[in-house]
Amino acid sequence: MTRNLDAVVPQKIGAKTPKQQQTKKWGKKAGEISGAHALPGARPSMRLMAERRLPISAPPAAAVPRRYPRRSRGRCRLLLLPAFSVALLCLAYLSFSSHSSLPFHAVHPGLVADNVRKEIDKRHTLNATMKTNTSMTKNGSEPFTRRKKPRKRYAPCEIEFVPSVDNLVEPADYNNFTQFSLNYILKEQKLVGNALFGPLFGGHQSLQERDETYYAENQTLHCGFVEGPEGHPSSGFDLDETDKAYMATCRIVVSSCIFGGSDYLRRPTKSKIGSYSKKNVCFIMFLDELTLATLSSEGHVPDENGFIGLWRIVIVKNLPYKDMRRAGKVPKFLAQRLFPSALYSIWLDSKLRLHADPMLIIEYFLWRKKAEYAISMHYDRTCVWEEVLQNKRLNKYNHTAIDEQFYFYQSDGLVKFNDSAQESVLPSYVPEGSFIVRAHTPMSNLFSCLWFNEVNRFTSRDQTVKEEQ
């Protein structure tokens, strides 16, 4: 029986089908069968089926697809089947012999060939780390983890305090320091032609004014708490009048601060504090309202006199900086402004706990050594170049801002620290800054103002600033 090619021969667009040509040629309807082609005695439906099996005239040679002999097509099928099988085998081999950390090595061990297992064993012996990594199987062993380098540990400093504070007396010649008068700028007037003027807590200090303040002489300088002209809002760090009156009476101060709820409250160890210090030393903890709410939720609620343990809680409103680290520099460096009657002050970062009597600390660091200012030395670094690299490595601050400040100090004459130099006055150029003991002398007050002005002008990272000064 000849196959009908109507279904496989592609037709040109607009060309008539053979059925249409047949209708036009014979003048019959599509469903009628000519008597010359009908089988005798057959019903119309059977005649129609027989008519459909008759061969029709072939279309033009250009429209007929090329047909290959049956024997050639059979050979193609025989060649494609082995090629496809070989490709599958190669893919399976590459999958099982690729990397020893693939999990199906342990899940499906029966599918791995012997030579692949031998190669994996060689890799295991050559690389112990990869052997650990391949232990992630169904039996519950843990994946590979890197070992962290051990952190450096530092022993505490040995300090020989006097046995008791009962017989402590301030040395008669202790205050034999450089004497000069310091006054502070309290208010700035609006500059003519400056429409964008706004009050700043640190004031609008020019570079020329900055250079002139680096002399130990009678002067008036910027030192925080600068207010704008009449009608302008406060520049920040607003305190309650009751707290101001209490702080004005303090002669010896221990102070700290927590802003932004960044730490928890560490109370001084009462058993280490003598009765004299409990009566005569002011323990001031500066908090903002957010930190007070956080501490209250943790159970640290001030009593009716505003104390939590030995700490007198002082609430600061309207912080002058959005950066909580920079805002913390106000009570850290400006104790002479917050406590105008104080003779001595001790600063503790909130990460420290006072574990000794304040009078013993003052006697050891100031009176015994006849010093005006004592600050903790950095435990690991002595050079500003190292401190700059570490701050950038740990992303402590914007790298561009750090570089600008660093280049500025180099133009001022900053050099690398050399501990072997004979003219070296300091044992290090990088302080740790978390512990400061100072007498409120003119030189100490000037140094604190200069340090604060640098933090106000540049970054809040104060270790680099200290070395420049």
Q: Which amino acid is at 425?
A: V
User: What's residue 205's pLDDT?
Assistant: 93
Burial string for 158-196 (b: 16+ CB within 10 Å, else e) reads eeeeeeebeeeeeeeeeeeeeeeebebbeebeeeeeeee
Residue 389 covered by a domain: no
CATH code where residue 361 lies = 3.90.550
Residue 446 covered by a domain: yes
Residue 417 covered by a domain: no
Alpha helices per DSSP H over 213-328 = 241-247, 275-280, 289-297, 324-327
Q: Which residue has the higher pLDDT, 282 or 140?
A: 282
Q: Which residue has the higher pLDDT, 138 or 189?
A: 189
Residue 80 covered by a domain: no
Residue 276 covered by a domain: yes
Mean pLDDT, the chain, integer: 77
pLDDT exceeds cutoff 60 at 46: no
- Dist CA 408 CA 467 (whole Å): 13
What's the structural domain count of the chain?
Answer: 1
Q: List pLDDT tens digits, range 75-117.
A: 555 566 677 777 777 776 666 554 444 443 444 444 445 554 6
What pLDDT band is residue 67 in, cutting at 50, 70 and 90? low
Q: Where are the beta strands (DSSP E) in 75-164?
A: none
What pLDDT band is residue 136 in, cutting at 50, 70 and 90? very low
Do the Cβ atoms of 441 and 433 come closer than 8 Å?
A: no
Reading the block at residue 176, the tokens are: 């034999």
Residue 328 covered by a domain: yes
Residue 290 covered by a domain: yes
- Dist CA 407 CA 411 (whole Å): 6
- Dist CA 246 CA 293 (whole Å): 23
Alpha carbon separation from 334 to 44, 381, 421, 446, 464 (Å, rounded): 117, 26, 33, 10, 18
Containing structural domain, residue 312: 203-381+432-464
- DSSP annotation string for 395-432: T-S-HHHHHHHHHHHHHTT-----TT-TT--SS-S-EE
Spell out the long-range contacts of 368-371 with Cβ–Cβ below 8 A and sequence spacing 24 or more.
370/171, 370/173, 370/174, 371/439
Phi first, then psi: give them for residue 172, nearest 5 degrees.
Answer: -70, -35
User: What's residue 115's pLDDT?
Assistant: 56
Q: Is 23 helix (H, G, I), strand (E, B) or coil?
A: helix
Q: Where are the beta strands (DSSP E) in 64-196?
A: 182-184
User: What's residue 191's pLDDT?
Assistant: 66
Q: Is 227 helix (H, G, I), strand (E, B) or coil?
A: strand
User: What's residue 304's pLDDT?
Assistant: 94
Spell out the long-range contacts of 287-294 with Cβ–Cβ below 8 A and sequence spacing 24 or more.
287/257, 287/258, 287/259, 287/313, 287/314, 287/315, 287/316, 288/259, 288/260, 288/315, 288/316, 288/317, 288/319, 289/315, 289/317, 290/260, 290/261, 291/258, 291/259, 291/260, 291/261, 291/262, 293/261, 294/261
Residue 207 covered by a domain: yes
Burial (CB count within 10 angstroms: exposed 0-12, middle 13-18, buried 19+), residue 54:
exposed
Spacing of C-alpha 420 from chain mean position: 37
Range of weakest confidence among 85-94, 165-174, 179-188, 379-388: 85-94
Q: List pLDDT tens digits, range 300-356.
A: 999 999 999 999 999 999 999 999 999 999 999 999 999 999 999 999 999 999 999
Q: List pLDDT tens digits, range 216-255.
A: 999 999 999 999 888 888 999 999 999 999 999 999 999 9
Mean pLDDT within 56-71: 49
User: What's residue 78's pLDDT?
Assistant: 58
Q: Edge-to-edge strands of the sheet including 373-377?
A: 307-308, 311-316, 281-288, 252-258, 344-348, 431-439, 373-377
Within 10 Å of residue 297's Cβ, how many Cβ atoms?
10
Q: Which residue has the higher pLDDT, 45 or 389?
A: 389
